[in-house]
Structure 1
Amino acid sequence: MGVAAMAASLLFLLLLPLAPALVSSTPYAMMAKEARPVIKQSAKAYMEQKVQVQQGIASRSGQQVATDSSGALVFDLSIGTSPQKLSVVMDITTELVWAQCDACSSCIRLTPPDTPTFLPNNSRSFAVVGCASQTCQRMIPGEHGCTHDDDPCGYPNDFDGWNTSGVLATDTFTFGTTPVPGVLFGCSGDIMVQDLAGASGVAGFSRGPLSLVSQLNISSFTYFIAPHGDAASKSFVSWTWGGAADHQFAAGQMRTGGRRSSTPLLAAKKNQLHPDLYYVNLTGLQVDGQLLTAIPPGFFDVRPTGSGGVFLSSTLPVTYLEEAAYNVLRPELVRRIQSQGVAPVTTGDDVNNLCFLTRDFSGAKIPGLALVFDGADATMELKVENFFFAVADGQLTCLTILPSIGGSILGSLLQAGRTMTYDIHGGQLTFQTAAAGAPSPGLWPMIMATLLVWVLCPENRL
């Protein structure tokens, strides 16, 4: 199976929130026959449990940054003295930086045997954080599993949402040519994440104290998720860090252009339940330039209880909108598309699946969709591929926006095709339509397919 076909089939799983009750008279429902139950999770559950993920990344070699139609960004980190190069997934909703560490006979590990592994014994600067240290007590309060002061400081598999456990350690990380000693990271032994394959771990970019953003004092970071099917665009990740003596790190090369807009990143204190996430103030939705007035002003605000609000994810492909807003948007899209004689098809018994036959959909004029944010002219105009995706071997095209309860999440497909810059110190999110430049010397072509699956079954939850 080719990369594009693999990515499409994987995303099809993401668009089936319920195990479909297959209807024998509906041939399109049969396309979902092998689909397992996925993504029956509300935004509230996501915010409470962060990420319930099984992630598969097709094997890759020599790349410093990669992405695919599902949108996960993968880049290389150099850890240790002498440096060991390991690829990690960039996750802006988690804080822990962790890597698969030296295999042990008692470890429970679902990753393939050939997943690159960090070897602590090969690093002269590796040090385990002890239970008696203030770092352990401060960073992992009450969850470190310590019995004696000289025990290693452990983190449990539900600590940061990636279903991995291990010990907290420090080592020298090298960014470009700049070594940074004493970076805290997780040395993971038990890894209950299936098929991490080409990636060896995760780089947390949230506002939490363990994240790279906090540890390096990153003032701003930028990423570009290459649009699906755009072979000319390459993904990249870059950031500025170090405070007064700023340093630059980049994987890939940016080429900017197009319309540039900014909206405030909500101050962490406004999100008392989730101060580590990147919230923005979404004020409304437009379809073909018309504001959907059935969504009242302030609908997407963070509520006094901490629920509601809108935050961004770099690992979740689909977008979740609060159910009441989704119930305004969906029929408006259906009405405008159906007026051209293109009717939705049934893919199962879940009314939230909105799919069309691709052969009919491709000939229709698809209404424009835009997100309106707080700020002067801060409107994000989306392309069709940002919110519709061809699945089931290309036979169906489905809406990649789903309903949620308790909050909204802007997924990576929605962000694809524009640079996303998070100015941490300035408190601004800037998005700009752009194309990534040709990869810098030493970068390899992008070859990756990603599966992000939220498991429905209670026994599989974190």
Structure 2
Amino acid sequence: MHTTHIIKKIPQPTLGTSMAMAIKNTLQCVVFLMALIMTHLIPPAGADAGSPKVAMASSGAGSSFRLVAHHDYALRDDGFLQVQSRLDDLLPSEANVTTLRPPVASPIDMAFSVVVGLGSGKGRHDHNLKLDASGSLMWLQCKPCNPKQPQRGPLFDPKASSTFQQVAGTSQICHPPYPMEPAGQQCAFHLSGEHGMSVHGFVALENLTMGPESMKEFVFGCAHSAEHFNSQRTFAGVAAMGKMPTSLVMQVAARGQTQFSYCLFSGGASRHGFLRFGADVPRRPGLRTTKILPALDAHESQYYVSLVGISLDAKRLTGIRPEMFARRRGGQGGCVIDPGTPLTVLAREAYRVVEEAMWSDLQRNRAERVQRQGYGLCVRKTAEIKRHLQSLSFHFAEETARLVVKPEQLFTVVESKLHGAALCLAMSPGERTVIGALQQVDTRFVYDLKDAKLSFASEPCSQDTAGVD
């Protein structure tokens, strides 16, 4: 999930005496917060301004958010995700396909959210916020919001919480590179994204809780307009996990919890996992580690890693070259790991090599290639073919850093009422490489923001879950 930041002037309400006092108090709080953020997050002069490898406080504390999976796909007994094809049933025939056919769009809508508590007193409620690994500002819909998108639970009501404070337009954070700009006496934000998404409102401070833990004066965006935001009738907003100091994870890091971790699972609505911080991050053996690359400019919020090769089973694909994943300024190219993207996207050249290698191997095992809308490579599902599916490995710059994706996360079973079941490669070609949510299932990821490292290891993620209350 990728958003861009565009500042838009927003009409502000008339400010009375009480509001003026609130802004004065807010400014004092923001000065304190920014002193904290600048102490822990801003690199010294001459250092890379966007790098997460900065001086941060360490702490023995730990905390966790509930991590919830949102999809309506069945998990089969053999571990494969089963998807029901509707568009293919409209096709007049099912001709074999032997040429590369890039998918039109992601055929799977898999999302993950965290549950955060915001506010105090009668104004405190839990909200489901969609994960966005590249987001720079946590935001949610606030009263009044027009247009608004359907969500689970009530909209956040600033008037009902005694700890809500507006951020003043004179605040240090209300200027680039942060996604904010003064709007009169207030601080406005505007975010735009895929499918015409346009969200704008004002920046505020509020108490944030995760489980028994409470954090005061948390910076967030209070949205009063949310156009074309895909809330799935559940999400109240977005939990930004990017490298900007105003994101959710960087604000937690500024308070001393400089590591965070998640382990995505493909289970249903009866259980939830955890987004863990600090001392709550499990200490797992066998972790492999790669560097989080320094930012190329001050606006960059994504966690880039150095991908240099791809293997099928134990065979390195010679057609894959490191320059296929070269990163360029302006968010072009490179490789990121994003739980907010449902399926992996490979750089076009690399995708072509991977698909052709997979099809060549499946052909040797007498697979029948078939067509399914939204997928580039599908074969008719048989027990024999399923046994011959290969795993795929992503090789990072460090020799031992190899992320293995099992066939259960590499392929999905696509059912068609007219044409039967097919096994389809759950990847698509694109402008840059994004390792998506399905390919992260059953892998533990640990982000070390202090030392700019990303570690990972295979793990049955269902073991780090709990029943839904």
Shared fold (TM-score greater than 0.5)? yes
Which residue of structure 2 aligns with residue 49 of structure 1? none
8 Å Cα contact 1:255/1:435 also seen in 2: no
Q: Read off the aligned partner of 1:4 and give its amino acid letter.
A: Y
8 Å Cα contact 2:391/2:410 also seen in 1: no
Q: Distance in 2 between matches of 1:71 and 1:3?
A: 8
Write out aligned runs for 1:181-260 (5 A): 181-192=216-227, 193-216=229-252, 217=254, 218-227=257-266, 235-240=273-278, 248=279, 256=284, 259-260=286-287
- Superimposed CA distance per residue, residues 30-55 of structure 1 (whole angstroms, 9 cap, x where no aligned partner): xxxxxx96359xxxxxxxxxxxxxxx
Unpaired segments of 5 or more residues in structure 2? Answer: 1-70, 76-80, 98-102
Which residue of structure 2 aligns with residue 369 of structure 1? 392
Match of 1:88 among 112, 129, 133: 129
- Secondary structure of 2:332's partner? coil
1:389 paired to 2:415: no
Match of 2:166 among 116, 123, 128: 128
Which residue of structure 2 aligns with residue 272 of structure 1? 297
Q: Distance in 1 between matches of 2:331 and 2:117?
A: 38
8 Å Cα contact 2:265/2:462 also seen in 1: no
Which residue of structure 1 aligns with residue 346 of structure 2? 321
Q: 1:159 to 1:320 in 2, by over 3 A?
A: closer
Post-superposition offset of 1:118:
1.3
Q: Distance in 1 between matches of 2:118 and 2:455?
A: 30
Which structure's CA Rg is the greater one?
A: 2
Which residue of structure 2 aligns with residue 26 of structure 1? 94
Q: 1:249 to 1:306 in 2, by over 3 A?
A: same
Q: What TM-score do the two structures reach when normalised by structure 2? A: 0.71
- Superimposed CA distance per residue, residues 231-289 of structure 1 (whole angstroms, 9 cap, x where no aligned partner): 9x96321012xxxxxxx567xxx5846x4211111122xx3386311111111011120
Structure with the bigger RCO (C-alpha within 8 Å, sep 6+) is 1
Q: 1:39 to 1:326 in 2, by over 3 A?
A: same
Q: 1:234 to 1:80 in 2, by over 3 A?
A: closer
Unpaired segments of 5 or more residues in structure 1? Answer: 30-35, 41-68, 241-247, 447-462
- Secondary structure of 1:280's partner? coil
- Secondary structure of 1:389's partner? strand
Post-superposition offset of 1:337:
1.0
Post-superposition offset of 1:22:
6.8
8 Å Cα contact 2:144/2:224 also seen in 1: yes
Q: 1:228 to 1:358 in 2, by over 3 A?
A: farther
8 Å Cα contact 1:256/1:433 also seen in 2: no
8 Å Cα contact 2:177/2:298 also seen in 1: no
Post-superposition offset of 1:84:
2.3
8 Å Cα contact 1:71/1:225 also seen in 2: no
8 Å Cα contact 2:448/2:454 also seen in 1: yes
Q: 1:403 to 1:382 in 2, by over 3 A?
A: same
8 Å Cα contact 2:338/2:435 also seen in 1: yes
Which residue of structure 2 aligns with residue 340 of structure 1? 365
Q: 1:137 to 1:304 in 2, by over 3 A?
A: closer
1:38 paired to 2:126: no
Write out aligned runs for 1:170-189 (5 A): 170-189=205-224
Q: What TM-score do the two structures reach when normalised by structure 1? A: 0.72
Moved more, 407-416 or 175-184: 175-184
Q: Distance in 1 between matches of 2:362 and 2:267?
A: 23
Which residue of structure 2 aligns with residue 401 of structure 1? 427
Q: Distance in 1 between matches of 2:272 and 2:218?
A: 29
Post-superposition offset of 1:306:
6.4
Q: Distance in 2 between matches of 1:185 and 1:306?
A: 24
Structure with more of its chain in strand, by fraction: 2
Match of 2:187 among 153, 161, 165: 153
Which residue of structure 2 aligns with residue 110 of structure 1? 149
Q: What's the % identity of the aligned pairs?
A: 24
Q: Distance in 2 between matches of 1:154 and 1:168?
A: 6
Post-superposition offset of 1:383:
0.6
Post-superposition offset of 1:191:
1.9
Q: Distance in 2 between matches of 1:167 and 1:389?
A: 42
- Secondary structure of 2:359's partner? helix
Match of 1:77 among 97, 116, 130: 116
Q: Distance in 2 between matches of 1:372 and 1:137?
A: 39
Post-superposition offset of 1:438:
5.0
8 Å Cα contact 1:71/1:416 also seen in 2: no
Q: 1:374 to 1:383 in 2, by over 3 A?
A: same
